[in-house]
Amino acid sequence: MDPLVAAIDQGTSSTRFLVFNAKTAELISHHQVEINQSFPKEGWVEEDPREIMQSVHECIERTCEKLCKLNIDVSNIKAVGVTNQRETTLVWDKDTGEPLYNAIVWLDLRTQSTVERLINKAPGRNKNHLRHKTGLPISTYFSAVKLRWLLDNVDEVHEAFLSQRAMFGTVDSWIIWCLTGGKNGGVHCTDVSNASRTMLFNIHTMDWDPELCRYFDIPMEILPSVRSSSEIYGWMKSGSLAGVPISGCLGDQSAALVGQMCFNEGQAKNTYGTGCFLLRNTGTKPVISDHGLLTTVAYKLGKDEPACYALEGSVAIAGAVVRWLKDNMGMVQSSSEIEKLAAAAGTSYGCYFVPAFSGLYAPYWEPSARGIICGLTQFTNRNHLAFAALEAVCFQTREILDAMNQDSGVPLTQLKVDGGMTSNRLLMQLQADILCIPVVRPTMSETTALGVAMAAGAAEGVGVWSLSPGQLPHVTSERYEPQINSEESEYRFARWKKAVQKAMNWETTEPCYNGSGHSQ
């Protein structure tokens, strides 16, 4: 039996556990559990850290049961990797092992007033004031402001910090700490890709930055240690996989870059999940964008390996728009139904949907934007709206692709794609039409999990997966070629940009009104 490597893929809307053959990269078995999101106030998004861990354990055990039914011995699993929704912020008590508050999800907007305050005090009111160190604009998206909010507004967090019981981590840190023993000797660490999304990490020195920590007034002693993306961090303490090393850790978008085998400078991929994330490998040098993209650490595949960087275009709402049409509007019963509705219309009939539910991310970085649907007539029906929602995902990708082409000066000739939404064939065709370049989707779309399995299997001390170019597995894929003329594509894109302008500068934080229209 070939050695197996497993991956925990903890995303915004679900947790998955997947087991791969380390020689062929074939997916052997997996299990998935949905995660509840709570929205306690407008713009707030939270998840329960206990539920996250419960879902991880459930996915591991169910998958192991499935392997047994396939007559596969779980002792063939030689390593586990962890990949995760990035920036989502947790604080827990190291003595009790309990979370001190819900996880504040990356999409959350409660820190908008903090962000405005920080930008106002920056020289020239420049949101890029810290970009030279972090590669990031000051935004609600990243962990530092969320952690600051927790320390300022949650008594339990503040008290735990004062009595030196508080631990901060992103989702990867929480999972690894819990799986390696929790309050009984759990390992408190993160990897460079996740650390680079906190705004506390210097992407040049590759470590926490004392000056950044002072800027946000974050105590350095609550931060996890920063490790490479491929090394043994610790061992599973309990369950069916007790004793197996945890040896890979990558933020989900970095993991997808690895899983798509984008190891060379200039290679890029776009992942369609809750949000949409286009990453382009820029090699061992960080490239600072002039067009609203982020500079991020892509991966560091071993203690002594160089770090590789990426330019990233981040879109907050992609698959989340389908979830909204389903859960909030009751327009569809299941996410797959949206393709049928959109196909029935075949066009948005002049209707444009800008889903700026959490403001706009790249390339605008405009937290005051809000969602808007425009171009409605008496003719518009829910099919047109479904089509407009799918088009919105494609237009947003086009905006970040244009920015990336301008930054690099070398236009992409095709786009590699992955993520849950890529099973929607209409979306993939629309994407090719709107970008005017082919879209290439691997047949096995779980590239995020594959990427971290590769990192885990290649770690020193595990060594069951080779990342040398000659030994990478061959991946089959399908191609979508553009089918409309570029003039029509440009016209639609110009209308989209007009709609985006109408979504801007909607929500300013002062003065604050409550829902009944009375000033607070």
The answer to whether residue 512 is domain-embedded is no
Adjacent-strand bridge partners of 480: 439
What is the per-residue pLDDT for 112? 87
What is the per-residue pLDDT for 507? 78
Tokens 């062929």 sit at which residue?
A: 24
Residues 222 and 118: their CA atoms lie apart, in Å, by 22
- Least confident range of 343-347, 370-374, 441-445, 515-519: 515-519
Taking residues 11-20, what's their average pLDDT?
95
290-301 tens-digit pLDDT = 888 999 999 999
Taking residues 311-325, what's their average pLDDT?
87
The answer to whether residue 132 is domain-embedded is yes
Taking residues 386-393, what's their average pLDDT?
92
CB 100 within 8 A of CB 91: yes
31-41 tens-digit pLDDT = 999 999 999 99
Residues 453 and 451: their CA atoms lie apart, in Å, by 5
What is the per-residue pLDDT for 127? 84
Judged against a pLDDT cut of 50, whether residue 519 lies above it is answered with no
- Least confident range of 387-401, 404-418, 470-484: 470-484
- Total count of residues recorded for the chain: 520
| Residue closest to 142 by CA, chosen among 274, 314, 301 | 314
What is the per-residue pLDDT for 45? 94
Judged against a pLDDT cut of 50, whether residue 511 lies above it is answered with no
CB 135 within 8 A of CB 177: no
CATH value at residue 338? 3.30.420.40
Tell me the C-alpha to C-alpha distance, in Å, between residue 46 and each of 132, 159, 354, 505.
30, 21, 23, 25
- Residue 17's SS3 state is strand
The answer to whether residue 518 is domain-embedded is no
Contacts of 468 (CB under 8 A, 6+ apart): none
What is the per-residue pLDDT for 517? 45
Higher pLDDT, 192 or 346: 192
What's the total number of domains in the chain?
A: 1
Residues 74 and 241: their CA atoms lie apart, in Å, by 7
The answer to whether residue 397 is domain-embedded is yes
Q: How does residue 456 score in pLDDT terms, banded at 50, 70 and 90?
A: very high
The tokens for 269 are: 């991929």
The tokens for 480 are: 């979508």
The tokens for 35 are: 């995660």
The answer to whether residue 77 is domain-embedded is yes
The answer to whether residue 519 is domain-embedded is no
Averaged pLDDT of the chain: 90
The dihedral region occupied by 51, where left means phi > 0, alpha psi between -120 and 50, and beta the remainder, is alpha
Judged against a pLDDT cut of 90, whether residue 321 lies above it is answered with no
Position 143, amino acid: S
- Least confident range of 60-64, 219-223, 514-518: 514-518
What is the per-residue pLDDT for 67? 95
DSSP per-residue string spanning 74-129:
GGGEEEEEEEE-SS-EEEEETTT--BSS-EE-TT--TTHHHHHHHHHHSGGG-TTT
Taking residues 91-110, what's their average pLDDT?
94
Helical (H) or strand (E) element with 170: strand 166-170
Tokens 């171009």 sit at which residue?
A: 375
The answer to whether residue 513 is domain-embedded is no
Compute φ and ψ for 84, nearest 5 degrees: -155, 155
What is the per-residue pLDDT for 380? 92
Percent of the chain with pLDDT over 90: 66
What is the per-residue pLDDT for 509? 59
Judged against a pLDDT cut of 60, whether residue 515 lies above it is answered with no
Judged against a pLDDT cut of 90, whether residue 82 lies above it is answered with yes
CB 178 within 8 A of CB 54: no
- Residue 425's SS3 state is helix
Tell me, rounded to whole angstroms, the distance of Cα 430 from its chain centroid: 23
406-454 tens-digit pLDDT = 888 888 888 999 988 898 999 999 999 999 899 999 988 889 999 999 9
| Residue closest to 272 by CA, chosen among 427, 55, 475, 477 | 427
What is the per-residue pLDDT for 185? 93
What is the per-residue pLDDT for 514? 47
Q: How does residue 124 score in pLDDT terms, banded at 50, 70 and 90?
A: confident
- Residue 366's SS3 state is strand
| Residue closest to 303 by CA, chosen among 215, 389, 232 | 232
Judged against a pLDDT cut of 80, whether residue 475 lies above it is answered with no
Contacts of 89 (CB under 8 A, 6+ apart): 103, 104, 143, 146, 147, 150, 168, 170
255-299 tens-digit pLDDT = 999 999 899 888 889 999 888 899 999 999 998 888 889 999 999
What is the per-residue pLDDT for 191? 97
- Least confident range of 105-114, 177-186, 288-297, 468-477: 468-477
Tell me the C-alpha to C-alpha distance, in Å, between residue 157 and each of 96, 97, 120, 161, 349.
13, 13, 27, 6, 51
What is the per-residue pLDDT for 455? 96
Judged against a pLDDT cut of 50, whether residue 518 lies above it is answered with no
Q: How does residue 201 score in pLDDT terms, banded at 50, 70 and 90?
A: very high
Judged against a pLDDT cut of 70, whether residue 152 lies above it is answered with yes
What is the per-residue pLDDT for 18? 97
Q: How does residue 338 score in pLDDT terms, banded at 50, 70 and 90?
A: confident
Percent of the chain with pLDDT over 70: 98
CB 449 within 8 A of CB 260: no
- Could you list the residue range(s) of the whole structural domain that residue 162 is in? 1-507
What is the per-residue pLDDT for 516? 47
Tell me the C-alpha to C-alpha distance, in Å, between residue 461 and each of 232, 244, 332.
7, 12, 48
The answer to whether residue 448 is domain-embedded is yes
